[in-house]
Structure 1
Amino acid sequence: MIEAAQRYNCDAQKLWKYNFGVMKKLVKKLPNACDIIDARLKIENKKKQKNLIEISKRKVRDEQFDEQWAKAVKTSAKKLYEENHRPIRVTKNQLLRASKLDIDGKKGIIWPTKERFPITHRATLECMESTWHFYARRILWTLLSLHDINTSDYVTIIFSGLEVHKSKEIIKYFLDIPRGSGASIEIINSLLLARGIKNDWAGPCPDREFYKAGRAYRLRTSRRGPIGGKAGEPNFSQ
């Protein structure tokens, strides 16, 4: 009956109107049942009001924190893109770790959900870099670092540590860049800026599809399974 009263937002007297039979049986077994129900409802209502107040306070705190966090993410992104060493991809996790803000007494990484931290969520998506932008930065760093300007593209790609097919496209795109002139993130950022390449770059051939490595890899021949499937999957077409 307490649960029913909470569900329909009524007191013990109204329960008599909507649940007469059950209330009659209950009072026979427990004469002060109405007092117990009203007392429990009073306690639960106080808890509910307290929770609403806490939720309201947390919302105000979150709004203030959201603006601070978004600003910290943007500051961290600027530092990450200007670090003068072999480029590492700027991801969501990197941005959040670099921002290092404390909320609710928790110093670990808290994911900025769109509902709770919309400004930070948007800033994180805007500041992280696409795969192609990362490839451009890493390949440029590798090309500028070469001791032998006649180093083959194959060896250059090995030095870069990146996937072969995308790397070939990036190297072709930057054929006019002098090799071995000395790696500098400032020079790389200037080159990207001059070509209008931003951190969300879709690459030199956005319409071309590339086979994905790792778990997302799909077979290109039927030797180990069906074409387009995962290795080891049964090939029912045979």
Structure 2
Amino acid sequence: MDKGKAFREVCQNFRPVMHHFFLERFLQPADWFEKRLAYTRSVAASSMVGYIVGLGDRHAMNILIDQATAEVVHIDLGVAFEQGLMLKTPERVPFRLTKDIVDGMGVTGVEGVFRRCCEETLSVMRTNKEALLTIVEVFIHDPLYKWALSPLKALQRQKETDDDLETSLEDSQDQHEGNKDAARALMRVRQKLDGYEEGELRSVNGQVQQLIQDAIDPERLSQMFAGWGAWM
């Protein structure tokens, strides 16, 4: 089955509705504008930070919204350092930027405020690269942190398995634990902060452009796990 074609058909039947949240909750024009701006800025900042640390599993239930400030709040941070690529259905997008997420940003969408805040956030992280890497490097020496998903936990994240398969993978779980992937994860974080994308060195503007393009690419979204809800 053509996943791209199926994805486009599903999108035609699911119209974005996020803008209604702001219209219905913030009735005063100034309040509506302020909260929509706060929402857009928080999505931009969390998207860039999430990309740098390789945060995955960003389905709709793991991104909450503060109904008072309209800022997004991420929960369930267990799939980090690009462990999403190890799932049964690998996650090919850098962060969640689906139709509903963009719909809440207003008529400019990913242009304007969102793009500018992404560039500013990434620029700040690049400037403070060594401090960030020092913090991440601490985890290398933490025996309690698991840098890679075990096969069993990877399947549990995307529940398309059976009891026999779970049982067969339980025995191999221990050998996938530990910090053996810590150096690789740290190196990838450094590459992102340096601006390397697909083997090419990019400016802040170029890197943000590439990430946004990848995040909204219908072909990439059509390959996502169904429970991730790429059409929302």
Normalising by structure 2, report the TM-score.
Answer: 0.28
**Comparing both chains, which one has the higher relative contact order based on Cα–Cα distances under 8 Å and sequence gaps of 6 or more?**
2
From the CA coordinates, give the structure whose radius of gyration is larger. Answer: 1
